[in-house]
Amino acid sequence: STQSTWGVDTRSGSLHKSKLPGSLRMEAIKKKMQAMKVEKDNACDRCDVTEEASKAAKIRADKAEDEVAELVAKSRQLETELDLTAEKFDLCELAIGEKEKSYLPSRSRDE
């Protein structure tokens, strides 16, 4: 059987004469238009919901990117502080080693 929408054969796309009387045909067209309007309104509502969800996700993503940037900066700062502290530690170890060298020979001379 051939499907028809508003007198158009959906398989071939050609116009054909509907067997329904004019008023019934018009009623069928009105019902089809109402159904299409409801479908369009529902699609628009889904679109609005999706847009809002997308905006909220973008805000969360922006905040997360800012947080990552802050954490990267903090990490670099901590790495720099660690390097400086390690250098100070090495200098202190050298100084202690020198003090021990100067202390031990003099102590062995005193004994």
Rounded mean pLDDT of 106-111? 58
pLDDT tens per residue across span 48-102: 999 999 999 999 999 999 999 999 999 999 999 999 999 999 999 999 998 888 8
Which tokens is 10 given?
């959906």
Identify the sign of the CA torsion 11, 15, 19, 20: positive
Q: Are 7 and 16 in contact (CB under 8 A)?
A: yes
Angle 81-85-89 from CA coordinates, rounded to 5°: 170
pTM, to two decimals: 0.53
pLDDT tens digit sequence for 2-31:
455 555 555 554 445 556 678 888 999 999
pLDDT at residue 4, rounded to an integer: 53
